[in-house]
Chain A
């Protein structure tokens, strides 16, 4: 082989590599939205409701997309479905490489903030004003708003309750607790009889944090954790430390399932579903599992009841109509989408149809207002929707309100609190340190 020939082949290789690399960068710019050979607009849509674990959500989304495509013949929605943990990770990676899907779902507050402020999400105030005047439950849109602009259309609204197994309660002559002391007594009775009083997945941090958030709400008053985020109150406030102490008291008394620091939320839920544990504090996103979903047996569904988190005697939070909860997912439109207007149109359609159909067809509480009159759903839904209408306060989850940095720390500390690896004082102190560090940077 002559030198010349070899050289030209090398050049060819370099060119090919260059081509491959430039190919990568050009796809970075297109953000997935592309007009392909069929001349239709392809919108990329990513959600985190896989068919397996969230079939009701999955089917409803599929239905709405089908209708949208039928109404808009020149648009094709390419859907990518991931499970929530993978979804969280993938969104981060995609954003880092400017490849967000045209439309996707985002959690509120701290999760959305870097994307909104980093110019990844498009402001949606125009369509909120145009299409959703007075449609959203108050407080939901605000959870996706930064610097006066709103960056997502809220789709879910969840509040948390203690769900319990009515049959177990009946067997041991227990009633829904009105006070925290009642709740503790229930725990004692149950563990004496070899039943796990409550199951909780504290490996993940966030499910276990709900207990802490409610105790803080009841002991220190409904606004205390929001005040911590806003820097008005310190985490080392005696009321919050007391709440953390109560968590460890519950752990000591065997209130929670053993080994919960190794349980994810799903692992923990298993104990409630197979009736080994009597109580499970979780959000209303589980309602389908307890009412309509074909995945759980009717026999079990009939046994599930719920109660509001009880009042703590002597605490500042005296209203059991104050909830811990918040908006779940909202739809965002990528700022760098090539078909931004079409993407906005689809997002608006999705959220609007979602609000109309979600309760009846999938048993999901939307962030748009629902009139319970004449609604043909499971009675538990009517109760919950009425509760939401009568709620005096919904405190958005602490970890949702916090920045990712503090939120991650909070999850780790909650696991450590349940595992008794930190004292309540250290638990509070470490939060304060991180919050102070962040405040100093701003």
Chain B
């Protein structure tokens, strides 16, 4: 086996197929997207080269920056909710009764398709017949919020199902990391007189910080390119109040047939995601060094 793995051609044999696929399905389309951004193209007819016009328009486009801000907000919320997931996971990982059942309960939303979740939450948010407002009305609240219909709160309302949707995913990962924390360390800390909170904060969390960092990046990048629930539930509305970068890109490319401008937005999204990932990695590294 050792012999085989040191043979360069064999290594190439294992690496190349995947490399080809990634190249053809991801990197080349990525470059093409940037290239289409230089075109005026309705997606069907002839392409026309217009230089950097789309990118200049993009930088000046108020709507694009608004939707970028919404995406960033979603990223912040997702990262904040990681703290909640961490607490839940800590509780689940400590040996309490029923932890097993709760673990399963948390994972279930992940098994539902996005469209099903969207339909479910549309019904929950319905201003008149919905679960929340029926409850509010029954306890005597008169001016019930309109949730998805109110431009002021629609964005935050839609964050709830998005965060809820991925809760199980994050909890399972954190839980798995916590279970791998060596029992001896916890034992030792306990003998030294640490209480449960200290054990969690001083021992468990630092030990899984690698996993947490990955999750932060996942949460932020996932939020920046987030699309599905927003598309199904509000379509970016009312009046762009819940527009995010991906939904804006979709509207331009597939709604208005501006494939050129849509590609420019897509490329902008890519650049922003890369900058965000890079920044986060830098930030977290300095923390570690200190």
Binding site for B on A (CB under 8 A): 1, 3, 6-7, 9-10, 13-14, 17, 21, 89, 92-93, 95-96, 114-115, 117-120, 196, 202-204, 257-263, 267, 271, 276, 404-405, 408-409, 412-413, 415-416, 418-419, 421-422
Contact = CB atoms under 8 A, between A and B. Distances in A.
Nearest to B63: A412
4 cross-chain pairs, A with B, having the tightest CB-CB distances, nearest first? A259-B127, A416-B239, A262-B148, A261-B238
A404 B257 contact: yes
B156 to A, nearest CB: 14
Interface of B: 4, 7, 9-10, 12-13, 16-17, 20, 24, 42-45, 122, 125-129, 146-151, 154, 234-235, 237-241, 251, 254-259
Contacts of A257: 128
Given A258-B127, A262-B125, A262-B149, A13 B44 contact: no
A259 B16 contact: no
Contact of A415 (B16, B237, B256): B237
Nearest to A13: B17
Contacts of B146: 258-259, 261-262
B251 A408 contact: yes
A194 to B, nearest CB: 11
B154 to A, nearest CB: 7
A14 B240 CA distance: 46
Nearest to B127: A259
A94 B41 CA distance: 16
A408 B256 contact: yes
A261 B128 contact: no
B9 A6 contact: yes
A118 B17 CA distance: 37
B240 A412 contact: yes
A196 B127 CA distance: 13
B146 to A, nearest CB: 4
B232 to A, nearest CB: 9
A326 B234 CA distance: 27
A6 B13 contact: yes
B149 A261 contact: yes
A258 B128 contact: yes
A209 to B, nearest CB: 14
A404 B254 CA distance: 9
Contacts of B20: 13-14, 17
Contacts of A196: 128
B57 to A, nearest CB: 11
A79 B258 CA distance: 30
A203 B10 contact: no
A196 B126 CA distance: 15
24 contacts: A1-B10, A3-B7, A6-B12, A13-B16, A17-B17, A17-B20, A21-B24, A92-B43, A93-B254, A96-B44, A114-B43, A114-B257, A115-B44, A203-B235, A258-B149, A259-B128, A260-B149, A261-B238, A262-B234, A262-B237, A262-B238, A271-B128, A412-B240, A415-B238
A4 B97 CA distance: 60
A119 B46 CA distance: 10
Nearest to A261: B238
B66 to A, nearest CB: 12
A290 B158 CA distance: 34
Contact of A412 (B7, B128, B154, B239): B239
A262 B154 contact: yes
A262 B154 CA distance: 9
A115 B43 CA distance: 10
Contacts of B257: 92, 114, 404-405
Most-contacted residue by chain A among B128, B237, B241 (CB, 10 A): B237
A1 B7 contact: yes
Most-contacted residue by chain A among B16, B45, B125, B149 (CB, 10 A): B149
Nearest to A89: B254
B45 A114 contact: yes
B235 A96 contact: no
Given A21-B24, A259-B147, A408 B255 contact: yes
B229 to A, nearest CB: 13
Contact of A114 (B7, B13, B42, B125): B42
B17 A404 contact: no
Contacts of A119: 45
Nearest to B242: A262
Contacts of A419: 149, 151, 237-239, 241
Contacts of B240: 412, 416
Given A117-B45, A203-B234, A259 B149 contact: yes
A119 B45 CA distance: 8
A1 B127 contact: no
A119 B237 CA distance: 34
Contact of B238 (A17, A21, A203): A203
Contact of A7 (B9, B45, B241, B254): B9
A416 B256 contact: no
A6 B44 contact: no
A207 B214 CA distance: 45
A312 to B, nearest CB: 26
A111 B230 CA distance: 24
